[in-house]
Amino acid sequence: MMLPYLAAAGHNLYLKSAYLYLSDMQQLESKHPEIYAFFEAGHHVIRRSDRFWAGLSSDIVIEQVLMRSMKTSGGLTRGRGMTELQRVQWLLSSPACAEINYAMQTLTGVDYHTSDQHKESGKARQSRDDRDAFIVLKHVMERNPFDGNEELRSIETGIVADQKVNVDRSKEIGLEIVNSLPDQSISGYSFKRSKQAVTLNSKGAVKVDDDHMHVDPQLLFQRLITVSRMVYPDISVLFAYELSTHPSSLFDSNGLPRVAQKSTLANAIWSMGDCDGSTSNSSREFEYVIDGGSLIYKLPWKQKASFGRIVDCYSSYVLKKFGRATIVFDGYPDGPSTKDITHSRRSKGIVGRKVVLSPLSTFNSKKEVFLSNLENKKQFVSLLGTSLQQKGCNVVYASEDADVSIVTTALDRSVLGPVAVIGEDTDLLVLLIHLFDSNCHNDVVFYSDRQGKDHKVWDIHKTSMLLQDNICQILPLVHAITGCDTTSRVFSIGKSQALKKFIATHYPQECASVFSCDESNATKECIASAGEKIICNLLSGMENESLDQLRYRKFVTKTLSCNNSIQVHELPPTSAATYFHCLRTYHQVQTWKGKMLDPLQYGWGEQDGKLFPIKTNVPPAPNDLLSIVRCKCKKGCDTKRCTCRRHGVSCSVGCSECRGVNCENSAFGIEENGEET
């Protein structure tokens, strides 16, 4: 029953050995009836002593006796060698060594034995096993795989598999491989990797001749750089390609966008000068505008409490601390959203069960698990909003993300008097600074009601005066291009570093103007060109240098100066990957400006009802490099059995036998008279 799964997982040696063993055992009754009779009588274990729990299966005995003695001092793997003569000598001497060992133990009175009680039957082990089983059960219940959702997804992370993943058909795939084994030579039969099951854990896929090969990004980079010198005298042209399975400077090894630490931008602005609004506005009466998303996670929920009671706790908290404030909640559209990946990452794979909510229904779960289900969150927001309205508060429901609605609501109300915005998201601070106009708005402060040693009260007027108008206008771009909820962080570009560059250099400010233009005045090519110039400048590139040229220059510099190996994610992104990153940045900036554009036209794709960022539109490397393989032919490489010849490429120095020179498929060639040309 396990053979198909061994085959689908690529455990080829286990598969062949188990298949051969099974074939022999099926003939045991006819070939060795006396052994078969012993097995039928229950004599199928080996005992090394008459103690309890001493009956072991043959494979465990082999591991405990034969394999252990081979690998310890005096064994075959400790300098004796593995030739046939040495193996025979070692095996024949083993019984004599065992007798000597036993005699020495008898002489010295030293005896090695274990307790009659098996360690698995002890109270401590049973208690630990019960505790571990409960942890596993709790983990699976929080990420219920039997909720009716037919999508293939990871229970741990919640990432949904794409169409290439077929591990759910492992038995069917494995049976095809097993059925190909009869009448084959056990030593000569080879397995094709393309026939194995594709798992969600595959690090990346490189397509060669319509066949997907799964390779570690760093390993692929090293291989491509190694073999490229045989094909490209000038390897600088290769750096227009990622030389990796994905743009690793923008995306992690799991394929998700790199996450930026958004608070570093706020800390960088705070350290520039006086932004503190805690003293000058302490005596003034503010109207409060509260981020509803932050409010939901503010209070703990007690299990067995009714949802009506939980909602009353929120209402009491808001009225006691802020009075009749305005609360703005996120909207949760039914269609795909650019925050789909962010929601999946934050939920960490937890899939809460859908609950029919009412004020009298009881809360019996964990708060995080309950809110991980979007339907549950929508119901709770509706129930909480109704309760707050009944208590005299103003409630606003945004169409999607609430950041823009929170800021515009606060600035509209600041026309009549001072306003305090309560929230924790750096996006709110950026938008407040960007949209604040001292000629139209009264005092506006922004802070989190979570007290602590790093508690900051931002005076938006002071902050905007500190940054000046030119930086305030491009601040959303600085935030988005260095990484926010919908855009990737560029490796080695920090938000603090980027802000300083924008302030100190006029060149990136000129390029940033494109991102503020309307859709009709900014073509995709102009957006990508301006974004590439900005990223190149932030990476200390020269003014007329492209990112592809900068990649090669950085590679050469690191090669000559670094003591460690070069990691592919340390290189700048390619122009192709940056193109889509800049489009997503433009889309986010325009969204913050209140203009809703089609994300599918700006660096996003749709799959299985969710949006995902398009990484690049070029292959990892030129096809002639991807096709270079390493053959193991022992004779001539003159047939299609040679993998190099089959892919239409010459044998290379990496080939195990011919080394790319002594074969019919050599790049040098061999004339009929046997002389090299």
The pLDDT value given to residue 564: 74
Answer whether 181's CB lies under 8 Å from 372's CB.
Answer: no
Q: Which residues contact 49 (CB under 8 A, 6 or more apart)?
A: 113
CB contact at 8 A, 242 and 626: no
Least confident range of 9-13, 413-417, 418-422, 451-455: 451-455
Question: Tokens 């598999």 — which residue?
Answer: 161
Q: Can you tell me which residue has the tokens 């998700």?
A: 256
How far apart (Å, rounded) are the C-alpha atoms in residues 343 and 372?
9
CA distance linking residue 34 with residue 673, whole number of Å = 64
pLDDT tens profile 54-104? 888 888 888 888 888 888 877 787 766 778 888 888 888 888 888 898 899
Q: What is the mean pLDDT of residues 219-232?
A: 64
Q: What is the mean pLDDT of residues 487-501?
A: 93
Write down the pLDDT at residue 227. Answer: 62
- Work out the burial of residue 73: count CB atoms within 10 Å of its CB; fewer than 13 is exposed, 13-18 middle, 19 or more buried: exposed
**Count of Cβ atoms closer than 10 Å to residue 155 Cβ:** 14
Q: Helix or strand or coil: residue 501?
A: helix
What is the structure's pLDDT at 648? Answer: 62
Give the pLDDT confidence score for residue 228 in this predicted structure: 64
| Arithmetic mean of pLDDT, 442-460 | 84
Mean pLDDT lowest for which of 142-151, 166-175, 487-496, 520-529? Answer: 142-151
DSSP single-letter state for residue 532: H
Q: What is the pLDDT of residues 113-140, one digit of tens each?
A: 767 777 788 889 999 999 999 988 887 8
Predicted local distance difference test score (pLDDT) of residue 78: 75
Q: How confident is the model at residue 212 (pLDDT cuts 50, 70, 90)?
A: very low
Q: In what order do the strands lie in the sheet with 444-447?
A: 394-397, 326-329, 287-291, 419-422, 444-447, 457-459
Closest CA to 215 of 204, 201, 226: 204
Greater confidence, 301 or 627? 301
pLDDT single digits (tens) 148-189: 777 787 776 566 677 788 888 999 999 999 999 998 888 888
pLDDT at 528 over 90: yes
Other beta carbons less than 10 A from residue 642's beta carbon = 22
pLDDT for 210 = 46
pLDDT at 668 over 60: no
CA–CA gap between residue 495 and residue 267 (Å, rounded): 10
What's the pLDDT score for residue 358?
83
Using CA atoms, how far residue 376 sits from 328, 351, 592, in Å, is 18, 11, 27
Instruction: State whether the Cα torsion 223-227-228-231 is positive or negative.
Output: negative
Q: Which of 653, 568, 572, 528 is nearest to 227 (CA)?
A: 653
* Predicted local distance difference test score (pLDDT) of residue 671: 35
Q: Can you tell me the mean pLDDT for 391-396?
A: 93
Of the CA atoms within 13 Å of residue 496, those in its CB half-sphere come to 10
pLDDT at res. 223 = 62
Which DSSP letter does residue 601 get? G
| Element (DSSP H or E) covering residue 326 | strand 326-329
Q: Please report the pLDDT score of residue 587 as a whole number.
A: 94
Residue with the bigger pLDDT between 592 and 69: it is: 592
CB of 474 closer than 8 Å to CB of 516:
yes
**Is residue 233 pLDDT above 50, yes or no?**
yes
Residues 530, 515: contact at Cβ < 8 Å?
A: yes
pLDDT of residue 643: 72
pLDDT at 627: 61
Give yes or no for residue 224 having a pLDDT over 80.
no
> What structural domains and CATH numbers belong to the chain?
275-467 (3.40.50), 482-613 (no CATH), 627-677 (no CATH)
The larger pLDDT score, comparing residue 289 to residue 71, is at 289
- Of 602, 239, 525, 556, nearest to 247 (Cα)? 239
Compute the average pLDDT of residues 615-632. 75
| C-alpha to C-alpha distances, 358 to 298, 308, 380, 555, 620, nearest whole angstrom | 21, 7, 9, 60, 53
Give the whole-angstrom CA distance, residue 304 versus residue 490. 45
Query: For residue 547, what pLDDT is reported?
Result: 92
Q: Which residues contact 374 (CB under 8 A, 6 or more apart)?
A: 332, 343
Q: How many angstroms separate the CA atoms of 482 and 117, rounded?
A: 61
Check whether 40 has a pLDDT greater than 60: yes
Amino acid at 440: C
Where is pLDDT greater, at 10 or 58?
10
pLDDT 10s digits, 240-279: 888 877 888 999 877 789 998 999 999 999 999 989 888 7
Give the mean pLDDT of the chain.
84
| Helix axes 575-592 and 403-413, enclosed angle (nearest 10) | 40
Q: Output 78 or 436, whichever has higher pLDDT.
A: 436
The residues, ordered by sequence, that sit 6+ positions from 390 with a Cβ below 8 Å of its Cβ are none
Q: Is the pLDDT score of 429 beyond 90? A: yes
H or E element: which one contains 551? helix 547-561
Angle, alpha carbons 651-653-231 (nearest 5°): 70
pLDDT category at 216 given cuts 50, 70, 90 is low
Stated as kind and residue range, the H or E segment containing 651 is none
User: Is the CB of residue 603 less than 8 Å from the CB of residue 614?
Assistant: yes
Terminal-residue alpha carbon distance, the chain: 56
- Measure the CA–CA gap between 90 and 215, rounded to whole angstroms: 41
Lowest mean per-residue pLDDT among 61-75, 308-322, 431-445, 497-511:
61-75
Task: At 444, give phi and psi (nearest 5°).
Answer: -130, 130
Nearest to 480 by CA among 435, 522, 512: 512
For residue 499, give the nearest of 485, 488, 483, 515 by alpha carbon: 483
Which residues partner with 457 through β-bridges? 447
Q: What is the pLDDT of residue 206?
A: 45
Is 473 or 87 the better-scoring residue by pLDDT?
A: 473
| pLDDT at position 230 | 61
Q: Per-residue pLDDT tens for 397-422?
A: 998 889 999 999 999 999 888 999 99
